Amino acid sequence: MSTGEARPFAPFPQVRPLSDTALTVVFGTEVDPQVHAQVMGLARQLEALRDAPALAGVSEWIASFTALTVYFDPDVADVAALEAELARLAGAGAKAILAGRVWTLPACFENDYAPDLADLARLQGLSEEAVVSQFLAARYRVYTIGFLPGFPYMGGLPEALQVPRLATPRTEVPARSIAVAGGMCAIYPFKSPGGWRLIGRTPLNLFDPAREAEPALLAAGDTVQWQRIDAARFAALEAEADAGTLDPQQFLGEGPHDHAS
Amino acid sequence: MTTHLEVIDAGLGVSIQDLGRPGYRAIGVPLSGALDPLALAAANALAGNGAALPALEIRFSGPTLMLAEGEATRLALMGAATAEIIGPEGEKRLAEPQTSFLLRRGEKLKVGRTNGTAYLAVAGGFGVERMLGSAATYARAGLGGIKGGVLSPKDQLPCNGVGEDEDALHQSEALPYASGPLRVLPGPQEDQFTPEALDVLLSAPFSLSPAMDRMGMRLEGARLNHNDRGADILSDGVLPGAIQVPGDGQPIILLADGQTTGGYAKIACVISADLPRLAHLRPGDTLRFARVDRTQAAAARRAQAEAFARWKAGIEIWKAPGRIDIARLYTTELITGVTAGYCPA
């Protein structure tokens, strides 16, 4: 690799230029709920201050693991003033106290929904059942949405289940696949190429443009826990989701839910 | 009855685009929209439209379209592509470049191969449904366009306007693109590279690899070495123009359909004023980069907006032979520009 020496990082938070239309506020370098709380805290402040003159021209922002990227119209924004305001807000250290919504989402491990479950169990010297029960026991924090519309990057995968991505990515991962890689868990909203390991499937639509106000099911800051469902229950929920009649709000809150109909 | 263009041949890489779908990046929805918003605005201006109406973006080879319903419609093509109009009896006439033209019922428009990205606008815009505020096609999530994808044969393209007027809008000047190296702002992860890497980016030539689509373009050339922090970062927000460098040291420039967050260190970003130029690069083309600062980036943006406004003001009305329409001369907003006092025979 390189012979060059890394310059030391300046103290966090830092406001860095991404382009002439975006700035990124960086709070740290590691996946850490405390760092993410600072990211979400700044996002909340921006939401509250949307109409403030110092934020003129700001159009949107993305909360990610350790950073908040702010997009603006340079024909409207005073970039130097915006940069100073973001530094001031970030430095004020407001952390989002509220953790976002808590979801209990259905997950099925049957049929051909979990093609990498056996491999993962073998790699870790566990039974498939042990993998599933460890997976179900954890709570996952949505750090950011990216890669695809509605695709959640969730931290919190138990260490015993942490394996690298597939050496050769699949050319097609089925929509609604529940996937793991490293310490992360995700759900593929659409079929797509992908290198994460597939260990289950949810019947829900992670992204639906018909839900105009909130097309993505999950948002950065949300917490997800999983509830096991069998293949029959999966089929019933999937049919509702395909028909557009499944109200995802029923999966809000701490589980377990009673899905008996 | 609404006017419809029927897709006879879908061409290659043809999709409906407008100025994109801002406001949804936090939930992973890319901006999308025209790779060259300037050329889209130009095609729209020649079709008598506002800059943002949905038009066809043509990346490789153009479609063949037939006016299947309606009496006539006005179209305009912008970009390095030729087009011919084929009558019901097979008679052909060339569609003049950068000039609007009428397509009548039963006539076909055949757009050839493009050298770069071209835009075909229709009077009133294509009447496709907006999803999340935009008609722009984003095929991965089935958003916008016709059924969420690129054109396919037999698709019906609803046209909002009609064309009755025989006069044409014309501009003989090329669009005012900047020339020279692509201008970049360093950052935000330039401190994950060796001190030499940025110098290499700013001095070495890079060649555009065939691996390019609306999501991004891969470059080949001197290796941009990372330092001990390596190529991978925790994914953070990106945008079109961002130059990310994976572990192989070969840069990738993200484009309109690029994902919203990325996990590779970004060494620099192409400034917004130079993004339209990326749309016209072809595999094998040589690219060079030059560093600018924020003030220069803002000045480039202003210069581009002013140059485009002059280009637009220079659009002429080509009077159809034998027609004098004084009222139109006084009512059209284009009268602010220079109006040609002649009619091509």
Write the DSSP assignment of B40-63 as a string of letters. HHHHHHHTT--TTS-EEEEEEE--
Is pLDDT of A260 > 80?
no
Residue B67 pLDDT: 96
Residue B328 has pLDDT above 90, yes or no: no
Domains of chain B, residue spans:
3-173, 182-302
Architecture category of domain B182-302 in CATH: Beta Barrel (2.40)
The average confidence (pLDDT) of chain A is: 91
B116: left (phi over 0), alpha (psi -120 to 50) or beta: left
What is the distance in angstroms between the CA of the first residue and the CA of the last residue of chain B? 33
What is the mean predicted confidence (pLDDT) over B94-116? 94
C-alpha–C-alpha distance, residues B112 and B100, integer Å: 17
- Specify the higher pLDDT residue, A56 or A92: A56
Q: Which range has the worst mean pLDDT, A63-72, A188-197, B154-163?
A: B154-163
Residue A5: pLDDT band with limits 50, 70, 90? very low
pLDDT for the residue numbered B342 = 38
DSSP B166: -
Amino acid at A122: R
Average pLDDT on B309-322 reads 88
How much is the pLDDT for A143? Answer: 95
Smallest CA–CA distance, residue B123 to chain A, in Å, is 28
pLDDT at B161: 81
Q: Is B162 part of the contact surface with chain A (CB cutoff 8 Å)?
A: no
Distance of residue A3 Cα from the nearest chain B Cα, in angstroms = 7
Helix (H, G, I), strand (E, B) or coil at A190: coil
Q: How confident is the model at residue A169 (pLDDT cuts 50, 70, 90)?
A: confident
B28 in A contact zone (CB under 8 Å): yes
Contact across the interface for A60 and B23, Cβ inside 8 Å: yes
Mean pLDDT of A175-199: 95
DSSP alpha helix (H) spans, chain B: 37-46, 195-203, 275-278, 294-313, 326-331
Counting one residue from A and one from B, how many pairs have CB atoms under 8 Å apart? 175
pLDDT at residue B330, rounded to an integer: 52
Range in A131-145, B164-178, B284-298, B314-328 with the lowest mean pLDDT: B314-328
Under a CB-based contact definition with an 8 Å cutoff, are residues B219 and B207 in contact?
yes
Domains and CATH numbers, chain A: 14-91 (3.30.1360.40), 102-251 (2.40.100.10)
pLDDT of A108 > 70? The answer is yes
Nearest-angstrom CA–CA distance, A238 and A199: 18
* Chain A residue with the nearest C-alpha to that of B144: A209
Cβ neighbours of B257 in A, within 8 Å: none
Distance from the Cα of A260 to chain B's closest Cα (Å) equals 31
Beta carbons within 8 Å of B236's beta carbon, 6+ residues apart: A24, A26, A62, A64, A65, A66, A67, A69, A144, B261, B262
